[in-house]
């Protein structure tokens, strides 16, 4: 049986909860061997997953505990986050707390579970209690708290976290190419032609990739670093492989911040394989589809202009040249947003806006009125989210769409 310090045990408990629905990660986690030993290897991930969910259920306070108590808040937070699968901000909204408060309560709750699991581990005699290091690591805890606060500050300024994977990879390569050239390392990049979007912030993903590639470059003397994108079940995986003469093995302690950054942002990152001349990292994150915008305008030139704006900014465009067509497409395609011209034959934009707003199937779709008529108060009163006066520039249109604050279509 492998042994583990209490500090690493606690750290890995946080990691397995962050990857609760990633069976590959759970199967490879040291906790799978420590907490569910003597289990069929094919069932290790499932059994660890079940144990982690049971641990949340076991935290449920007694019936006499006040519903406003911290115990109930900790339990409810874990249920919303890991059983119901809500994102941190959604959990914070449900509990009426700030995102910063969410991370503090989350840390407290997972530490309680980690303590219980640790006690069950040492009760089997796998480690001496006298040898257990203290959990308190003020510097490490402060570092993680600061990192989470910085991530919260960055992501909190953006309504939708999404980035095109190919763009992020391509932005990283020039930064590491000079150092790679000095070490005689060739960067071999093969990316899918089809756009792939990860539901994470581009700046954060960029820092993670820089950290991994930079570490591999420092280990190699000559050789190659291969970067490829491969399909994996219903998502995609980024493979970063260092191949050649290595001066030393991968030192995961030097990637602690990179791993923490990945964990905080629901990115699965792990060292998949390591040999004398080979080291492979794999990265996986939730994927999102390009957001679809329905452009409603009887002027084909304006519609095509909007389409060019949208395509350049990673939106998918659908066009309706009449009010009737717009209502049908809105019902069937459920776009992220609708841009709506007012002066159209047959059914004008105001009538279309009312129909969309009064229909249960379409009332949730934000509508942006685009017109030469300045009637903002009327537009807002009828349910529009914004009014833009024509001619509409690319910058104004994209800024308005990004500011809607609605989730991307997945």
Pair 22, 82 in one domain: yes
pLDDT at 139 > cutoff 60: no
Q: What is the CATH number of the domain that holds 191?
A: 3.30.565.10
Q: Are strands 268-275 and 278-284 parallel, antiparallel or unpaired?
A: antiparallel
Average pLDDT over residues 288-302: 90
pLDDT digits (tens, 9 = 90+) for 232-286: 767 788 999 999 887 788 888 888 888 888 887 778 888 888 888 899 999 988 8
**Per-residue confidence (pLDDT) for residue 1, from 0 to 100:** 41
Average pLDDT over residues 299-312: 92
257: exposed, middle or buried (Cβ count in 10 Å: 0-12, 13-18, 19+): middle
For residue 349, tell me if it sits in a domain: yes
pLDDT tier at 406, thresholds 50, 70, 90: very low
For residue 244, tell me if it sits in a domain: yes
Specify whether the CB–CB gap between 288 and 296 falls below 8 A. Answer: no
Specify whether the CB–CB gap between 173 and 187 falls below 8 A. Answer: yes
Number of neighbouring beta carbons within 10 Å of residue 385: 19
Residue 19: left (phi > 0), alpha (psi -120 to 50), or beta? alpha
**Per-residue confidence (pLDDT) for residue 133, from 0 to 100:** 36
What is the C-alpha to C-alpha distance for residues 201 and 203, in angstroms, rounded to an integer? 6
Domain boundary among 271, 287, 303: 287
How many structural domains are present in the chain? 3
Pair 304, 362 in one domain: yes
The residues facing 337 across adjacent strands are 293
SS3 content of the chain, % helix, strand, coil (to 5): 50, 20, 30
Task: State what percent of residues in the chain have pLDDT above 70.
Answer: 88
Pair 279, 308 in one domain: no
For residue 150, tell me if it sits in a domain: no
Pair 272, 384 in one domain: no
Residue 293: left (phi > 0), alpha (psi -120 to 50), or beta? beta
The residues facing 298 across adjacent strands are none
pLDDT tier at 408, thresholds 50, 70, 90: very low
**Per-residue confidence (pLDDT) for residue 311, from 0 to 100:** 85
pLDDT tier at 125, thresholds 50, 70, 90: low
pLDDT at 351 > cutoff 90: yes
For residue 158, tell me if it sits in a domain: no
Specify whether the CB–CB gap between 160 and 407 falls below 8 A. Answer: yes
For residue 149, tell me if it sits in a domain: no
What is the C-alpha to C-alpha distance for residues 348 and 342, in angstroms, rounded to an integer? 6
User: Domain span at residue 355?
Assistant: 291-402
Pair 255, 296 in one domain: no
What is the C-alpha to C-alpha distance for residues 197 and 354, in angstroms, rounded to an integer? 34
Pair 295, 259 in one domain: no
pLDDT at 219 > cutoff 60: yes
Pair 188, 126 in one domain: no
Pair 183, 72 in one domain: no
3-state DSSP call for residue 80? helix
For residue 30, tell me if it sits in a domain: yes
Average pLDDT over residues 76-100: 86
Domain boundary among 264, 287, 310: 287
Residues with Cβ within 8 Å of residue 13, at least 6 apart in sequence:
31, 110, 113, 114, 117
Specify whether the CB–CB gap between 323 and 351 falls below 8 A. Answer: yes
pLDDT digits (tens, 9 = 90+) for 167-206: 899 999 998 888 899 889 999 999 877 778 888 888 889 9
pLDDT digits (tens, 9 = 90+) for 31-86: 888 888 776 777 888 888 889 998 998 888 887 778 778 888 999 999 999 888 88
Pair 186, 266 in one domain: yes
> Mean pLDDT across the chain, nearest whole number?
83
Pair 301, 239 in one domain: no
Q: What is the CATH number of the domain that holds 388?
A: 3.40.50.2300
Q: Output phi, psi for 315, to 5 deg.
A: -110, 155
**Per-residue confidence (pLDDT) for residue 130, from 0 to 100:** 34
Domain boundary among 260, 287, 314: 287
Number of neighbouring beta carbons within 10 Å of residue 54: 10
Instruction: Pull the structure tokens for residue 353.
Output: 């806006």
Average pLDDT over residues 77-103: 86
Which of 224-228, 259-263, 299-303, 346-350 shows the lowest per-residue confidence on average (mean pLDDT)?
A: 259-263
Q: How far is CA 178 from CA 27, 150, 174, 181, 220, in A?
A: 38, 29, 7, 5, 14
Q: How far is CA 339 from CA 33, 364, 369, 380, 392, in A?
A: 55, 14, 6, 14, 11
pLDDT at 135 > cutoff 50: no
Pair 266, 373 in one domain: no
Pair 251, 302 in one domain: no
For residue 157, tell me if it sits in a domain: no
Alpha helices, DSSP H only, in 230-322?
256-264, 300-312
For residue 154, tell me if it sits in a domain: no
pLDDT digits (tens, 9 = 90+) for 307-341: 999 988 878 899 999 999 999 999 999 999 999 99
**Per-residue confidence (pLDDT) for residue 392, from 0 to 100:** 92
């Amino acid at each position: 049986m492998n042994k583990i310090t209490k500090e690493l045990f606690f750290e890995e408990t946080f990691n397995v909860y962050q990857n609760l629905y990633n069976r590959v990660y759970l199967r490879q986690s040291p906790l799978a061997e420590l907490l569910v030993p003597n289990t069929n290897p094919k069932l290790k991930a499932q059994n660890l997953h079940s144990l982690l969910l049971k641990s949340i259920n076991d935290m449920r306070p007694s019936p006499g505990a006040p519903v406003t108590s911290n115990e109930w808040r900790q339990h409810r937070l874990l249920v919303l986050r890991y059983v119901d699968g809500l994102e941190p901000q959604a959990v914070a909204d449900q509990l009426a707390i700030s995102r910063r408060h969410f991370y503090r309560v989350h840390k407290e709750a997972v530490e309680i579970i980690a303590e219980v699991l640790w006690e069950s581990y040492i009760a089997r005699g796998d480690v001496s209690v006298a040898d257990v290091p203290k959990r308190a690591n003020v510097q490490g805890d402060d570092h993680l708290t600061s990192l989470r606060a910085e991530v919260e500050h960055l992501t909190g300024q953006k309504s939708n976290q999404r980035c095109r994977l190919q763009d992020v990879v391509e932005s990283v390569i020039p930064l590491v190419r000079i150092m790679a050239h000095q070490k005689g390392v060739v960067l071999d990049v093969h990316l899918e032609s089809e756009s792939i979007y990860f539901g994470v912030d581009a700046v954060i993903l960029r820092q993670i990739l820089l950290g991994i590639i930079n570490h591999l470059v420092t280990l190699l003397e000559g050789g190659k670093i291969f970067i490829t994108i491969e399909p994996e079940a219903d998502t995609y995986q980024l493979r970063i492989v260092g191949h050649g003469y290595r001066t030393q093995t991968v030192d995961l302690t030097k990637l602690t911040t990179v791993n923490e950054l990945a964990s905080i942002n629901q990115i699965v990152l792990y060292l998949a394989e390591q040999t004398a001349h080979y080291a492979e990292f794999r990265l996986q994150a939730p994927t999102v589809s390009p957001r679809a915008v329905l452009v409603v305008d009887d002027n084909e030139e304006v519609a095509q202009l909007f389409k060019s704006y949208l395509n350049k900014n990673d939106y998918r465009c659908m066009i309706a040249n009449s009010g009737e067509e717009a209502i049908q497409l809105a019902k069937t395609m459920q776009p992220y947003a609708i841009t709506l011209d007012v002066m159209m034959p047959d059914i004008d934009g105001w009538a279309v806006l009312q129909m969309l707003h009064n229909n249960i199937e379409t009332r949730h779709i934000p509508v942006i009125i685009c017109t030469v008529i300045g009637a903002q108060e009327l537009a807002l009163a009828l349910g529009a989210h914004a009014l833009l006066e024509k001619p509409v520039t690319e910058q104004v249109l994209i800024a308005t769409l990004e500011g809607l604050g609605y989730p991307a279509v997945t």
